[in-house]
Structure 1
């Protein structure tokens, strides 16, 4: 089993090319990219050939999950979720599995009460 390479986004050897691909030591990066704010990890993203591709998470500074999404070749697919800092679900967005088309959205306030619902109309 191959060990997944993990780098810190603030590493001086991390860069972006003209095509907005993440580079590490001059090459498109494949692996996981962490971001820290002080000692707190605030994000972890998966990259393939310099593009976001795979699971991605964000956390608040206190470690509470802030967001999760799966990405393929830079586009969100499936269900993307965000949480309020108190842990209550804030939004859920649905994207098609094949091309990342935005399909629907639901949002809630910090008490969990629905505030918005949107769904793409069929063509």
Structure 2
């Protein structure tokens, strides 16, 4: 897999990442060595668009966020962590639409859940399903007071 410094790349008119004039596929690392207090972002791209797991680290190298992209849209679970490495938030997304968000307490248990009200009809109407294929199930939100994986 090719790895580049994202600061050496550019974006085209469609906001796709280009490296040396070509749509980039691989790992783009975004860090500014002149500003050591900045966070680092490890971002996967496929043909110029975000695709795969993106990880953001604080200036001490601790993971603070993990997000999954599918062809340019957030899709799947996003996990946020505090400076001690504890999970603080989990968000389920379907091609950019938030399905639910769960706040996690200091004991690693679900403290609060915010559930989306998007229906399958709305999801299909927005083009999130290929014609003739069933929509994937919306992942269930976790119950309050339960641990989250």
Name the TM-score, length of structure 2 as normaliser.
0.68
1:3-22 matched pairs, under 5 angstroms? 4-11=1-8, 14-22=9-17
Higher helix proportion, which one? 2
**Quick check: 1:43 aligned with 2:41?**
yes
1:9, distance to aligned residue in structure 2 (A): 1.1
Q: Does the aligned pair in 2 maintain the 1:37–1:61 contact within 8 Å?
A: no
1:117 corresponds to 2:128: no
Structure number having the greater strand percentage: 1
TM-score by length of 1: 0.81
Once the two structures are superposed, what CA deviation does each residue of 1:3-44 show, in whole Å capped at 9, x if it has no partner? x00000122xx1101100000011111111001243687111
* Aligned position for 1:32: 27
Unpaired segments ≥5 residues, structure 2: 120-149
Unpaired runs of at least 5, structure 1: none
| Superposed displacement of residue 116, structure 1 | 4.1
Larger CA Rg, structure 1 vs 2: 2
Two-structure CA RMSD over aligned residues (Å): 2.2
For 1:81, what is the secondary structure of its paired residue? Answer: strand
